Amino acid sequence: MATPRSVGVKASLALMLLVTITLVAHTVNHHSVTGVIDRNHTKHHPRVRQHGSVETQAQLANVEPPNQDTKEEKNECDSKDMDNFFTAIPYSFVSMATHLDQPIQTEQFLNCCRALSEMFDKLSASAFSPIKSGFNTNIQLINDKYLTDKKRYSTLEAILKEEKGRNYHTSKGSASTELLWLTRSLIFVSELFDNIEDKPTFYAAITAAYEASVKQYHNFLVRSLFSVVGKAAPSKEVALEGFTINKGDTGKPGYTGCLYDSMYTYNDALSDVCSNIEDMFQKEADITIMHRPPS
């Protein structure tokens, strides 16, 4: 049986390794900003699911939903008692995704990223603190650029174009490089949301998300360390509890289903925003943020 001391030592070791991953990955992979353009690049979109409201499933199937069942399902999930991290988040990618026909506003994007970063504390403040730190460092450096001239850098596109014009966009510390890595982190989070329900454990969901996103940009050492520290992740039950507003909410009838519905709605929007930024990098700088196999 593990003693409290041995458990504490293992937890400390895992946290130290996680810090190492964050630092090593960010240092090593600044050399991977540019590269050969993937002409078979496909946008990141979570797969279609059967889970969800009757109305959502009917729309995906291109048929008329049964009105009575749809109303009951909608009323249940719209109740304040069913609120969760994704419905109560102060700045949501869901709002941003409604006007992606226009350049992404820098301030709105950063606000959404800051709000999302609070998720790491809800899942496990100690285990995810290094990841949140790196996430917030990206946000801060982009914000520093924005604050030098809010009008000039009001959009992410304006920042990339300005730095591209000076051939500075691939330099370490440039706002464009920070945006590239922040977007990769967002894609990892999006993949995580897409895997939580189906995978048997939260660790399995994290692993699947890692393999589908940023693993390709890490060397053997970082990949090996990730497999070790990922096991320090909370259980699936604890992770879901982290997305609730009040402790014990997951025990409410229908709550978990509504939580997943909210997660997928949020994730669809997050995915669209990431795809928009990926397209911007390809168009303006011939940089592929995330290489993927042909669909």
Which pLDDT tens digit goes with each residue over 190-210? 999 999 999 999 999 989 998
Residue 219: the pLDDT is 85
Confidence of residue 120 (pLDDT cuts 50, 70, 90): confident
CA dist 185 and 282 (Å) reads 18
Confidence of residue 232 (pLDDT cuts 50, 70, 90): confident
Is the pLDDT at 271 greater than 60? The verdict is yes
Residue 124: the pLDDT is 75
What pTM does this model have?
A: 0.78
Q: Using alpha carbons only, what angle is made at residue 236 by residues 188 and 127, rounded to the nearest 5 degrees?
A: 60
Residue 3 burial by CB count (10 A; 0-12/13-18/19+): exposed, middle or buried?
A: exposed
Confidence of residue 294 (pLDDT cuts 50, 70, 90): low
Reduce the DSSP state of residue 286 to 3 states and report it: coil
Q: Helices 255-285 and 156-165, interaxial angle, to 10°? A: 30
Helix, strand, coil share of the chain (percent; to 5): 70, 0, 30
Which has the closest alpha carbon to 269: 135, 120, 87?
87
